[in-house]
Amino acid sequence: MADLLHFRAAGTSLVLDLSGTGLPRVPHWGADLGELSPGRLAALVAAEAAPAVAGDLDEPFALSVLPQASAGWPGTPGLSGHRDSCAAAPAFTVRGRSVVAGQRRLRVEAADADVGLTLTLEIELTDAGLVRLRAEVTNTGPGPYHLGELTPALPVPPQATEILDLTGRHLRERAPQRHAFTLGTHLRENRRGRTGSDATLLQIAGEPGFGFRSGEVWGLHVAWSGNHRSLAERTPAGHAVLAGGELLLPGEIRLAPGDSYTSPWLCGSYGRHGLDELSGRFHRHLRARARHPVSPRPVTLNTWEAVYFDQDPATLERLARVAAEAGAERFVLDDGWFRGRRDDRAGLGDWYVDERVWPAGLSPLIETVHGLGMRFGLWVEPEMISPDSGLARAHPDWILAATPARTPPAARHQQVLDLARPDAYGYVLGRLDALLRADRIDYLKWDHNRDLVDAPAHRQTAAVYRLMDALRARHPHLEIESCSSGGGRVDLGILERTDRVWTSDCIDALERQRIQRWTGLLLPPELLGAHVGAPLSHTTGRTHGLDFRAGTALFGHFGIEWDLTAASAAERARLAEWVALYRALRPLLHTGTVVRADHPDPALWVHGVVAADGARAVFALVQTATGVHSPAGRVRLPGLTPEDEYRVLPLPPGDRPEGPFTAPPPWWERGVTLSGRVLAEAGVRAPTLFPERLVLLEAVRVADGPR
């Protein structure tokens, strides 16, 4: 095999230097370099080599994808650990390497006989231009090896001088923060035992002032649902890396001789022209998965904010009928259906239908739902246990804890069930399997409503993965939603096993505009649960019009979280119009390219989806607050084919610039025809919008005619 590899895909180049016996190095990860002969590749590597630095090592340090302290790396080591008698940093020597036939995938085998470890590295460039890498370490020495961390890394160039990552909390997930990429380490650690509402989906570095449509950017995601860490690090010698992996608690990974540990996939994306390009690689990668949902994403009515724990069969049957009239295609019965569950203080773990509330079981409701042409879903929280439950009274030892001597602090009046115990795991798998076999349940809303505190997270996360995998193997047509206090478990690890995420417990449309905007950096719209709530938001107390609520939910996996039996006939009729629009648009919304414009007024957001063939697009103009200017002026509509002509028209029912002091521009009624290049560079005059309102625009390629 050649010492230099050049992987290319979808506008990205990844150059790997395999010369010598050291671990692979990355001279270039970024824009496509075109075809390079072996000689030109060698010249690129030679041009990238660093000179010796006074006062430093005699030979310049070579940064590998697993940075080694033994080689002189002064930053965060890629691997750390110890034996009881030795804490020497490993110095790996490559023993073998191979490229998977027909793929852009490298496998490297290395070892350190003195420390007693072998290492396997996998590095690939997907068809979407996404870099994925992971490492496996095996103990080949005498006695146990205590692994501290295994954190692969990718270099970024000097022009990446600004960092963007995300933080948040319950009901306000994925809030962006930006700052300079200075010397030292910007470290984001998550110790919640789940991905966490405050976790950063992506650690992004880029050129100063990068936006959605401009500036070079590089970003990493750790595909793991438990404790994890990501970092951006820059040294005085000019090295800059993005790195990430599982955050291992002391003593969590003790490798006996012959045992191995594999890190989660670390996924890296590059954007030559801003965040949209970086984001699009993740979207295309996810859509190419074998298990990615391809059937039309059904309009989902969830009962939580409609009835909460007050479940009554007759009331819920009426709600199902009204939902079906509005166009709902799935009906999900939320928390409160099982024994002892009248509030959030009891019952978790007792996964039997409560005979006092449901004397005939769930079958009559399920039959009604199916008879109305809808699928049926059920809420569960399998990883949790209420101290006030039959299960806890029978098996108090099944509560997950770091030591039997103490119980972790309660949260939401519940504890975590230790699924790494075979008996607890078998019980939960058996109960869920029985529920799914007893009735035609098509969907599980799988919740996870508390952090893991003072508890081993690694084994619990691995057990949850096994449980989901086993359940889906028994029920191949089952769909699962990842819910975790709303958006507390959003990552590519859980999405290997689930079909969408509940983006946030907050369905206030104004908050959801931001939450969905930034969650969408990683996930395409069809994976984002987005529901129309009641006029008065249950989590913020704000009141929004139906068009703003529905227009916000349109750009996700559309659903309803509202007691429609209390809605007026006019509200239900208007909602049915939005449901019909979603059902007509979802082939476009769930396969097209997500675009966002960098508008100079932060109060006006512009986003949309362009069809894969460029023939059609839908855009939303969203007024989130009072603007700096009124009217706002022109807005650019990005992503259309530059050479094609498009007819742009307002799209009903999102065609009304409602509110006081609002007015459409003169072109609004009859539309306007312009090229994709003009629409992206010059744009069109926006209507004057009242705050917390939106309108929709449709662009149709002229050759294809109107919709």
Rama region for 556: left / alpha / beta (φ>0; ψ in -120 to 50; rest): beta
Query: Token pair of 670, please?
Result: 């009859």
Question: How many angstroms separate the first and last alpha carbons of the chain?
Answer: 54
DSSP code of residue 640:
S
Query: Token pair of 98, please?
Result: 């191979």
Catalytic residue among 451, 505, 508, 601: 505
* Residues 605/578, Cβ–Cβ less than 8 Å: no
Going 163 to 598 to 514 to 292, the CA torsion angle's sign is negative
Burial 453-466 (b: 16+ CB within 10 A, else e): bebbbbbbbebbbe
In angstroms, the Cα distances linking 318 to 86, 313, 563, 575 are 68, 9, 10, 17
How many other CB atoms are found less than 10 A from the CB of residue 161? Answer: 16
In angstroms, the Cα distances linking 13 to 44, 377, 387, 704 are 13, 44, 54, 36
Please give the full DSSP string across 437-486, using - where no structure is assigned: HHTT--EEEE---S---SS-HHHHHHHHHHHHHHHHHH-TT-EEEE-BTT
* Residues 264/149, Cβ–Cβ less than 8 Å: no
Q: How far apart are CA 172 and CA 486, in angstroms?
A: 10
- Residue 447 falls in the annotated catalytic set: yes
In angstroms, the Cα distances linking 255 to 152, 252, 280, 514 are 19, 10, 38, 43
Nearest to 5 by CA among 95, 94, 99, 121: 99
Query: Token pair of 108, please?
Result: 């490297």
Strands (E), 32-104: 79-82, 93-99
* Residues 377/300, Cβ–Cβ less than 8 Å: yes
Q: 145-150 and 79-82: which strand pairing?
A: antiparallel
Please give the full DSSP string across 672-688, using - where no structure is assigned: EEEEHHHHHHT-EEPPB
Catalytic residue among 418, 447, 451, 601: 447
Q: Is 99 helix (H, G, I), strand (E, B) or coil?
A: strand
Query: Token pair of 681, please?
Result: 């560079």
Active site residues: 447, 505
